[in-house]
Amino acid sequence: MAEAPNPLLSAPLSVINLGAELFAEALRQQEVPVVQVQWTPPAAQDDDLLDLLDTLL
Amino acid sequence: MTDLKTRIEEANGKAFDILRQGKPQIVDVAPAIEVVPGMKPNLILHSAPAIAFAEMCGPHRNGVIGAALFEGLAATAEEAEAKLLSGEIETAPCHHHATVGAGAGITSASTPMMVIENTTYGNRAYSCISEGGGLRLLKWGWYDQGVIDTLRWQADHFAPVLKAALAASGPIDLKNIISRAVEMGDECHNRSVASTFLFLKELYPHLAAMELTEDVRASIKFLVESEHFLLHAIMAGAKSMLMPAEGTEYSTMVTAMARNGVDFGIKVSGLGDQWFTAPANDVKGLFFRAEWGYEDAAPDLGDSSITETVGLGGFIQPCAPTVTQYVDGSLAEAIANTNEMFEICIGTNPDVRIPAMDFAPAPLGIDIRKVVKTGITPHIDTAITHKDGGLIGAGEVRAPIGCFQKALKAFGEKVQG
């Protein structure tokens, strides 16, 4: 029995790109609409610093 | 908001306003021994943070030895090393003497200094005058007879001419020059061509009015050939703007960033004179000759990151898209870098506008809390120095997060008891 076609491959794509803008730019160059979200992974912190930031900021 | 957070916000607002309202002006040129606070005949200053001679990187070691020879404190490099190790010749960071120095930051008693006054607060800061262009200069940790001859000519012939021209011109408004230069392709660290020309535009009428002696002619020729001449004055101007903001209780604003080729150090307004350090990063960039590569380079060094501390240089890269060529970059990447710097700063500076970002005011006033929270560290344009001395490239580097984490912990201990 044939599988149903993957809609990702047949329907227009809706893309949200998180972080590295290189991927968004590559899609834009292929005329794929893309929403870019500026994001970087949270900095690695020790628990003491995280508690301190809660107190100071 | 808790009382503590409110106190920090108010303190940062106060420190930020002091920084923004500073008005640096170029007022004089004079030998370091005459104007630099605490300068002594046997003292050689270097870029911060403090480091013992035995621990210094190659450019710093070479620089202080070269200065010892220039000053006649030793007859040979071996004698200079012995006196530096014994303490007969002393070393100290420029920053501890209201001074900043590019590269290795080498400054000794005879060094002619640009004298900058922050006229809003009446304080002064200093930087050695530029040695001009070239890859082999004392500030890049290189010395030979040619370097020492140039230093002697600057001290004995060029500095008096520059001093006389400045006396005739009166104070030259550095803040106004910076505001115009950033709209003419400078970011005032890796590129200071426009600011140098604007400075010379103020100076030339007074040079031309002087009797055209051989010294005056040679000085004009030197200035024409030194297209980044003003950088050192801009650095001292930045230092003069930051000094009044030091010691603001409860403020988390950064008041100095400096590197000595081993460590990267910061000072924080509410934490007094203490340096917080982490190992200096390697600079990413373009090498000026094919024979040079990353294996030849010293880690990040110099006090010139004082420009980023006042929101210039790597904080406003889009003002000078040409500097992105050092890292094979683009205007879009430069804008992204500046957008990151907004995230770690207290406010913006309407006196420094970024044309390529619709004249947005530049990010200003680094907050250690925001650096630690976001993990975004200051973005710095800078030179690349050979590990044995000499300029070999230019590029960009990030401050290490470790010094900001250490400072935040110290700040927490201070304000929470």
For B133-155, what is each residue's pLDDT tens digit? 999 999 999 999 999 999 999 99
Say whether A43 and B416 touch across the interface (CB within 8 A): no
- Which candidate, B336, B257, B366, B283, places its Cα nearest to that of A40? B336
pLDDT higher than 70, residue B79: yes
CATH, domain range B21-236: 3.90.1710.10
Backbone angles phi, psi at B400, to 5 degrees: -75, 145
Nearest residue of A to residue B4, measured between CA atoms: A56
- Closest approach of chain B CAs to the CA of A56, in angstroms? 5
Q: What's the CA gap between B238 and B376, in Å, rounded? A: 22
Q: DSSP characters for A33-45? A: -EEEE---PPPP-
Give pLDDT, residue B83: 98
Name the 3-class secondary structure at B391.
strand
What does the mean pLDDT of chain B come to? 97
What confidence tier does B335 reach under pLDDT thresholds 50, 70, 90? Answer: very high
* Domain residue limits, chain A: 14-56
Say whether B412 and A42 touch across the interface (CB within 8 A): no
| A42 touching B (Cβ < 8 Å) | yes
Out of B2, B369, B415, the one facing A53 most closely (by C-beta) is B369
Out of B373, B375, B416, the one facing A57 most closely (by C-beta) is B373
Say whether A48 and B405 touch across the interface (CB within 8 A): no
Find tokens 């200069």 and name the residue: B137
Say whether B372 and A42 touch across the interface (CB within 8 A): no
* Domain residue limits, chain B: 21-236, 251-416
pTM above 0.90, yes or no: yes
pLDDT higher than 80, residue B124: yes
H-helix or E-strand spanning residue B268: strand B263-268
ipTM of the complex: 0.85
Say whether B372 and A55 touch across the interface (CB within 8 A): no
Backbone angles phi, psi at B359, to 5 degrees: 60, 35
pLDDT in tens, B153-205: 999 999 999 999 999 999 999 999 999 999 999 999 999 999 999 999 999 99
Give pLDDT, residue A42: 67
What confidence tier does A1 reach under pLDDT thresholds 50, 70, 90? Answer: low
A contacts of B375 (beta carbons < 8 Å): 40-44
User: Structurally, what CATH architecture does the domain formed by B251-416 represent?
Assistant: Alpha-Beta Complex (3.90)
Q: Where are the beta strands (DSSP E) in B105-240?
A: 112-118, 123-128, 172-173
Residues B387, B388, B392, B394, Cα dihedral to 10°: 40
Give pLDDT, residue B259: 98
pLDDT in tens, A6-31: 877 788 888 999 988 888 889 888 88
pLDDT in tens, B266-318: 999 999 999 999 999 999 999 999 999 999 999 999 999 999 999 999 999 99
**Which residues are CB-neighbours of B234 under 8 A, at least 6 positions away?**
B174, B178, B188, B192, B195, B307, B312
Ramachandran category for residue B320: left, alpha or beta (phi over 0 → left; psi -120 to 50 → alpha): beta
Out of A38, A41, A56, the one facing B5 most closely (by C-beta) is A56
Name the 3-class secondary structure at B298.
coil
How many CB pairs below 8 Å do chains A and B form together? 45
Out of B8, B374, B405, the one facing A49 most closely (by C-beta) is B405
Give pLDDT, residue B299: 97
- Closest approach of chain A CAs to the CA of B371, in angstroms? 9
